[in-house]
Amino acid sequence: MTKLSIITVNLNNKEGLQQTIESVITQTFPDFEYIIIDGGSTDGSVDVIKQYEDKITYWMSEPDKGIYQAMNKGILQSKGEYCQFLNSGDIFCAETVLENVFRTPYPEDMLTGNIVRIFPNKEVMERGLAYESEQRGKPLTLFDFFVNGTLPHQATFMRRKLFDQYGLYDENYRIVSDWLFFLKTVGWNGVKVKYLDLLIIRFNMLGISNTQIDLRAKERALAAKTVVPPSILADYEYFTKIENHFHRVFQHKITYQWMRCINKAITVYEILTRKI
């Protein structure tokens, strides 16, 4: 079995698509297949795909109903043990990323690493939820996904069998179905996650806006109801207001750094009190 299926979805982003393709095909790790799902682009993206056709395992270009339907099309074509999703414009941090990730076999069903968020004037490296839970000596819980957000989707490698067991991404949502999948698998059903202290992906933050933050809060509230019992939803509604506020200030890099410092301080406190 192929070790990894890398799935890239694209719509009218030929420059970003070319960057992503170049990043994928120059990986030193050979045991992967590469799938590109294009949503019927009209900007020359298909010409870019054809330029690299001999390096691509499968590709298609047709209109779809959104990013998650495109991802699901990729999953259905995938044959790898793991799936990873790189949207057009996402790039690996180094040519040896996959080689380092799969150097050691792991029993966990999800592997996740670090991302570099690219802001207009600076770059910020994030370790994320799995690192914080490892430092606390606790597995990820439903509470983590309520309060602290989610796993970095592009930097997470998920066993393909999870989509057979828990279903594909919910196509009823525009931007939160990856969070819903993590909530369902990790937060609610206890799927194990292995944190790898490796730089995986460089991710451009220019697409984050207040409108998306509002939509994310609305969609998460609706999505949570499909997984979480009513008795727990009241807690979610309370904590999501806090989480939504943090994401609003996240766009301002000075305030964002303060939020990260606060979160790190909480983590250190929990580590120290656990040892005591």
- Residue 249 predicted with pLDDT over 60: no
Domain ranges within the chain, ordered by starting residue: 1-104
What is the pLDDT at residue 159?
Answer: 98
- Residue 32 predicted with pLDDT over 70: yes
What is the pLDDT at residue 259?
Answer: 59
What is the pLDDT at residue 233?
Answer: 78
- Residue 25 predicted with pLDDT over 60: yes
* 1-104 topology per CATH: Spore Coat Polysaccharide Biosynthesis Protein SpsA; Chain A (3.90.550)
What is the pLDDT at residue 272?
Answer: 63
User: What does the pLDDT look like over 3-17, one tens digit per residue?
Assistant: 999 999 999 999 999
Choose the weakest-confidence range: 98-107, 135-144, 171-180.
Answer: 135-144
DSSP string, the chain: --SEEEEEEESS-HHHHHHHHHHHHT-S---EEEEEEE----SSHHHHHHHTGGG-SEEEE---SSHHHHHHHHHHH--SSEEEE--TT-EESSTTHHHHHTTS--SSSEEEEEEEEE-SS-EEEE--HHHHHHHHT----HHHHHHT----GGGEEEETHHHHHH-S--TT-SS-HHHHHHIIIIIIT---EEEEEEEEEEEE-TT--HHHHHHHHHHHHHHHTTTS-HHHHHHHHHHHHHHHHHHHHTTSHHHHHHHHHHHHHHHHHHHHHHH-
Express as a percent the part of the chain with pLDDT over 70. Answer: 83
pLDDT tier at 181, thresholds 50, 70, 90:
very high
Q: For the chain, what is the mean pLDDT?
A: 88
What is the pLDDT at residue 248?
Answer: 58
pTM given for the model: 0.86
275 compared with 73, residue with greater pLDDT: 73
- Residue 245 predicted with pLDDT over 80: no
User: What does the pLDDT look like over 55-90, one tens digit per residue?
Assistant: 999 999 999 999 999 999 999 999 999 999 999 999
pLDDT tier at 217, thresholds 50, 70, 90:
confident
Please compute the mean of the pLDDT values over residues 181-209 and round it to a whole number: 90
- Residue 148 predicted with pLDDT over 90: no
